[in-house]
Amino acid sequence: MNTPPLAVEPLAIPEVKRLTPRVFGDARGFFLESFNAAVFAQAGLPTEWQQDNHSRSARGVLRGLHYQLHQPQGKLVRVTRGRVFDVAVDIRRSSPSFGRWVGAELSDTNQAMLWIPPGFAHGFLVLSDVADFCYKCTTLWDQPSDRSLRWDDPDIGIDWPLEGIGRPQLAAKDAAAPGLAGAELFE
């Protein structure tokens, strides 16, 4: 039986997908394909990327919830070191899942990735001592379009795994971000 090179699982909001690549491991380490244009095209996922990003963060850092209003980005996200809780929030007013969120743990152990389409705010909380977070974007970063949504907005109700962390460390722009009711969103 042939194992597919990439397992694609829709989450509770089906446009957000968990991707699990096939991992080949032995005593020397492992190998996996994090992107293959033909496999992604066959799965109905993007094959054109405009930007690759890599961030390193300490335990308790929460980055997000970020989005670009006028040049929305789709993101393929993964963790190459450590462990994070990754979240996508549907901020498309016309969507039946508007204001809902989905989350998944991504780590260097599970090797999972998330596809987060345009129209979603994205963020993550670092659960390990250090995490390296890598992501591909469908459009370039555009400072005038850059927006943040409040990470702890009760209207969204994200269940962040804060046990043992307490209050997360935030960037100033994320700490001052508006909630869903006061944010500029997609129609």
User: Smallest Cα–Cα separation from 170: which of 63, 58, 55?
Assistant: 63
CB 20 within 8 A of CB 115: no
d(CA 187, CA 170) in angstroms, rounded, equals 28
67 is catalytic: no
In angstroms, the Cα distances linking 78 to 131, 139, 155, 172 are: 10, 18, 27, 24
The residue annotated as part of the active site, out of 54, 66, 70, 122, is 66
In angstroms, the Cα distances linking 53 to 65, 131, 133 are: 16, 14, 8
Q: Mapped to the 3 state alphabet, what secondary structure does 7-66 carry?
A: EEEECCCCCCEEEEECEEEECCEEEECCCCHHHHHHCCCCCCCCEEEEEEEECCEEEEEE
d(CA 106, CA 155) in angstroms, rounded, equals 25
- Give me the active site residues, please: 66, 135
